[in-house]
Amino acid sequence: MVRRSPLVIGHRGAPGYRPEHSRSSYDLALEFGVDAVEPDIVVSSDGVLVVRHENEISGTTDVADRPEFADRRTTKSVDGAELTGWFAEDFTWDELSTLRCRERLPKLRPSSATFDDQQPVLRLRDVLDLVREGSLAQGREIGVVLEIKHATYFGSIGWDIAELVDRELREAGWAGGALPLTIESFESTVLFRLQERGIPAVYIYLLEAAGRPYDLLAQHGKAAPTYARTASPAGLDGLVGRVDGISVDKRMILAPDKLGRLTGPSAVMADAHDRGLRVFTWTCRPENSFLIGQFRGHGGAAAFGDWESEWAVIRDAGVDGVFVDHPDLGVAFFGS
């Protein structure tokens, strides 16, 4: 099957309409016709790969309202940041499975928040199975873009996340190359370890607009390359033959100035394509809160601004994959 260009990826399902990483969020994304969905994974205390945006789970579940788990609240350092809350790695999967999903941005997405406390947390296996079932039901290939979270942190507490992912993909029938699989991370070392394990996939290196990747920071300190350095022509040269592409914060393409005015598209897309690297971008959202200043409109943070104009810059620059929170809008806009 020939896929549209760019690839339209349901970012955590369809979180513009349902709590992220919930079953209904994924079901809706598949119904809207995405090319792939993107689950983020963290690890439970008994080594189960759990689908959550972060390992601190109080913002996306009802854990803070569960008196039986009140004593699990703690403070930890994750990737150099101090966080206080409840962490997936302090719960068994059986305990996590009793939690219910909540909308992460209830003030921006109150309609989605009406689905709070109705759906259980999912495992990676659940998402892999539902995507396979959706592909069969719709008679088309639907992919998974698997984002690995905090690999260095989980390694520091005894979990080899590459080994866990390898085992899960093999047991779920996603490690043979027959199903469209992309693996991405902000840490290149975990991508390389999975490549060494022979998992056939498209490997995408996630790049922030600022800062340094934590795995390299932990190894090399301030000598670690910045994300900006990696996105430069010389940095991209070093990725050729190591990964299949990069996924960048959309601001790295739009290049807004200090007043929020568009100066892009920047050279990063052309530079990567010149080296045979694919370019994905995150995250295309229509709400004013997420648009650069030039494209914001009236009605407050939750209102939709001139998202079509912002997205058109990204589309016309030749992006290979886009992450969207509203898959119906993404499929209609980028698939046309």
Q: Which domains does the chain have, with CATH numbers?
A: 7-56+121-334 (3.20.20.190)
Query: What is the tens place of the pLDDT at every residue in 96-150?
Result: 999 999 999 999 999 999 999 999 999 999 999 999 999 999 999 999 999 999 9
pLDDT of res. 335: 86
CB atoms within 10 A of CB 203: 21
Query: What is the tens place of the pLDDT at every residue in 211-259?
Result: 999 999 999 999 999 999 999 999 999 999 999 999 999 999 999 999 9
d(CA 225, CA 234): 11
Q: What percent of the chain is modeled with pLDDT above 70?
A: 99
Query: What is the tens place of the pLDDT at every residue in 140-175?
Result: 999 999 999 999 999 999 999 999 999 999 999 999
Query: What is the tens place of the pLDDT at every residue in 192-211?
Result: 999 999 999 999 999 999 99
Residue 1 has pLDDT above 90, yes or no: no
d(CA 5, CA 29): 18
Residues 6+ apart with CB under 8 A from 288: 296, 297, 299, 300, 301, 302, 303, 304, 305
Token pair, residue 172, equals 């779920």
DSSP summary character for residue 149:
P
Model confidence at 336, pLDDT cuts 50, 70, 90, reads: low
pLDDT of res. 85: 98
Helix (H, G, I), strand (E, B) or coil at 108: coil
pLDDT of res. 19: 98
Token pair, residue 195, equals 């490549």
Mean per-residue pLDDT over the chain, rounded: 97
Residue 313 has pLDDT above 70, yes or no: yes
d(CA 322, CA 18): 19
Q: What percent of the chain is modeled with pLDDT above 90?
A: 98
In the predicted model, what is the mean pLDDT of residues 66-85?
A: 97
Q: What is the reported pTM?
A: 0.96
